[in-house]
A and B are shown apart, each in its own frame.
Chain A
Amino acid sequence: MNHIVCIAYVPDTETKIRIAAGGVSIDEADVKWIVSPYDEYALEGALQMKEAKGGTVTALTFGPARADTGLRECLARGADDAIRIASEGLGEVDSLGVARLLAGAIKALPHDVVWMGNKGVGTDAQVLVPMLAELLDLPHVNLVTKLEWKDGAVLAYREIEGAREIVEMPLPGVIGATKGLNEPRYASLKGIMAAKKKAIAVKTPADAGVDPVTVAGEAAHVRWTKLELPPARQAVKLVPGDDPAKAATELLRLLRDEAKVL
């Protein structure tokens, strides 16, 4: 089977986010970039499947040159090939634009399973999985925590409110992985050395069959108009505990009158 894993190279979840001048993007200075943790579950799922049944794993991303480091990490973990659709010069592209670019690239590749994380960290839009499936005219199953493979199909387990849902999806199809699906492996040193020798194929939007003016800038359906940091947390209010009865009364008063949670 041929697996395509779409990865996003995103700010580390521990990054202290600052808003850039202009107020519509984050300041990228000093940001540490990582492969999105949800995409790591997707990659691990594909690698395990390849190890069990053979086939190839291709890591695919849409992003700037720095994302090559993320693709190299995927190669070091065991992906066979890596493709980057270059985002340089495009400006802001919304989720649908990204889905169109990824779909365009995937159509040109043999694919039995297309994998991605159920969301990227950072923007958390959670729309790429269905969008991509729709554009590829494939079924999809999202928020998958367990998989069982059958002939030409897959049983996907999803945790839903108060229950577990089991969905059978014929292949080819798109799988949205989430936490719980597996424990992503570390790369190996051997993998790192081997990845060094592999080339990352860099493609243009045109290579993916997409005219940049139809996805970027004014063509984007969703645009960021303003970014704001959450309000700074207020200092902790300590209720003196010398007299427990008094402290309890005071705590209740604060919860009712000030915090207004009672």
Chain B
Amino acid sequence: MSFSGVDFLGIEDMLSEDERAVRDLVRAFVDEDVLPIIEECAYEGRFPVELVPKMAAMNLFGSTISEYGLPGLNSVAYGLMAQELERGDSGLRSFVSVQSSLVMYPIYTYGSKEQKDRWIPALARGESIGCFGLTEPDFGSNPAGMRTVAKRDGNDWILNGAKSWITNGSIADVALVWAKVGDVNGPVRGFLVERGMKGFTAPEHRMKMSLRASVTSQLVFEDVRVPAASVLPGVEGLKGPLSCLTQARYGISWGGLGSAMATYTCALDYAKSRKQFKDRPIASHQLVQAKFAFMITEITKGQLLALRLGRMRDAGTMKPEHVSMVKRNNVWVARECAKLAREILGANGIVGEYPVFRHLANIESVFTYEGTHDIHTLVLGQAVTGIPSYNPPME
């Protein structure tokens, strides 16, 4: 069954023909290639690597870049792509976000010509997979405290430390690792660490209950020798990783809507056919209708936020706090919709025959990564009061 969209307020009219075409393409891919296998992948705890060549052929990696023969999508088209991917699974959208916004974007923006020529085409074709290492076991919300350090040794750098919760970690060919240079008081720089470098290992996080169709790993560096040419020359300080996160969070703002649409439509179909009490569909009961009224209103508000944010991004007026608002809101919407949809499905809400529980579990990761809900609350608090309530690292 193909998905026909959720559009209560005619938001379709605010999209251009090519924005719709991009969305419809990714929508068809998700319906035909992702949904038939994704429940099984999540159950087995396996990322569907077999989809990578197809996604690459469709140019889903680095799609906002216009050099290197890439399509140069505008922000709304890119967002709609993220929405549809996450309607399939948050893990799949995470893969594309990491590859595009957290690896290709920084290499493209801050990399040398040699780095770009080597990595952008390979990452775009899906021949190389990338990961982004910022979070450490002891530093999540506060990456400024990181302890991974690179010390200069002749023409090379010697890297020591560990990263945790790294999407794609153990399947990555290249890890963009953020580390302090000199010692723990040094400035942060980005290092392109390649799979197989001596002293670099990437053990997977075990027993994950969320984002199961995505690989999450630690990255461990024991005296890893990295050539000087592997440092991103164009950026120094936390601004580097934070600017990447702004890009990725932008995509998540739309992704959350995709997850919400998946759980909402599933619950709606279910409620129309499930009958309880006097042979009436549960959709006819007031309490159930109240849930749908909430869901459709929040999804619609979220769509308007995301669309506005996208237009601002293209106009160059989008600021990090704007992204915080929409990431925070739209992932919350997805989380609430997943919860309500699960309630509506009754016992069927806990089994993998329906996508609801998978989304419910997935969204917990999305709620936490790329800045937790609460951290974005603090960003917004600071944006409107002018008073930082904590010590936020600023882009």
Residues of A within 8 A of B (CB): 12, 14, 32, 69, 72-73, 76, 185-190, 192-193, 195-196
Contact = CB atoms under 8 A, between A and B. Distances in A.
Contacts of B69: 190
Interface stretch (B53-61, B217-225, B382-390): B53-61
Given A14-B2, A32-B4, A187 B18 contact: no
Given A73-B21, A192-B18, 16 more contacts: A14-B1, A32-B4, A72-B17, A72-B21, A76-B21, A185-B57, A186-B25, A186-B57, A186-B58, A187-B21, A189-B22, A189-B73, A189-B77, A189-B81, A190-B70, A192-B21
> Which of A69, A76, A192, A195 is most buried by chain B, counting CB atoms within 10 A of its CB?
A192
A190 B2 contact: no
B270 interface: no
B63 interface: yes
Contacts of A195: 21
A192 B77 CA distance: 11
A65 B166 CA distance: 49
Interface in B113-130: none
Contacts, number: 51
A223 B98 CA distance: 56
Contacts of B70: 190
Interface in B91-149: none
A123 to B, nearest CB: 21
27 contacts: A12-B2, A14-B1, A14-B2, A32-B4, A69-B21, A72-B17, A73-B21, A76-B21, A76-B25, A185-B57, A186-B25, A186-B57, A187-B25, A188-B58, A188-B59, A188-B71, A189-B25, A189-B58, A189-B59, A189-B71, A189-B73, A190-B59, A190-B69, A190-B71, A193-B18, A193-B72, A195-B21
B29 interface: yes
Contacts of B28: 186
A212 B107 CA distance: 59
A65 to B, nearest CB: 12
Interface SS majority for chain A = helix
A195 B24 CA distance: 15
Interface in B282-331: none
B319 to A, nearest CB: 27
Interface in B35-67: 54, 57-60, 63
Nearest to B57: A188
Contacts of B1: 14
Interface string B237-259: 00000000000000000000000
A189 B21 CA distance: 9
A187 B26 CA distance: 10
A186 B60 CA distance: 12
Nearest to A14: B2
Contacts of A188: 57-59, 71
Contacts of B60: 189
Contacts of B25: 76, 186-187, 189, 192
Nearest to A194: B71
Contacts of A76: 21, 25
Contact of B58 (A12, A14, A73, A187): A187
A195 B21 CA distance: 10
Interface string B1-43: 1101000000000000110011001001100000000000000
Contacts of B58: 186-189
A29 B180 CA distance: 60
Nearest to A12: B2
Give 6 closest A-B pairs by Cβ, nearest first: A189-B59, A189-B71, A190-B71, A193-B71, A188-B59, A192-B21
B22 A192 contact: yes
Contacts of B18: 192-193, 196
A193 B73 CA distance: 8
A22 to B, nearest CB: 26
A231 to B, nearest CB: 21
A48 to B, nearest CB: 14
A162 B296 CA distance: 53
Contacts of B72: 193
A73 B27 CA distance: 14
Contacts of A73: 21
A257 to B, nearest CB: 29
A12 B25 CA distance: 15
A96 B390 CA distance: 75
A41 to B, nearest CB: 15
A247 B146 CA distance: 71
Nearest to B72: A193
Contacts of A32: 4
B63 A189 contact: yes
B29 A186 contact: yes
> Which of B25, B54, B57 is most buried by chain A, counting CB atoms within 10 A of its CB?
B25
A190 B2 CA distance: 24
Contacts of A186: 25, 28-29, 54, 57-58
> Which of A186, A187, A189, A195 is most buried by chain B, counting CB atoms within 10 A of its CB?
A189
Nearest to A192: B21
B77 to A, nearest CB: 8
A64 to B, nearest CB: 16
B73 A69 contact: no
A237 B81 CA distance: 45
Contacts of A187: 21, 25, 58
Contacts of A72: 17, 21
A76 B4 CA distance: 21
Contacts of B29: 186
Contacts of B22: 189, 192
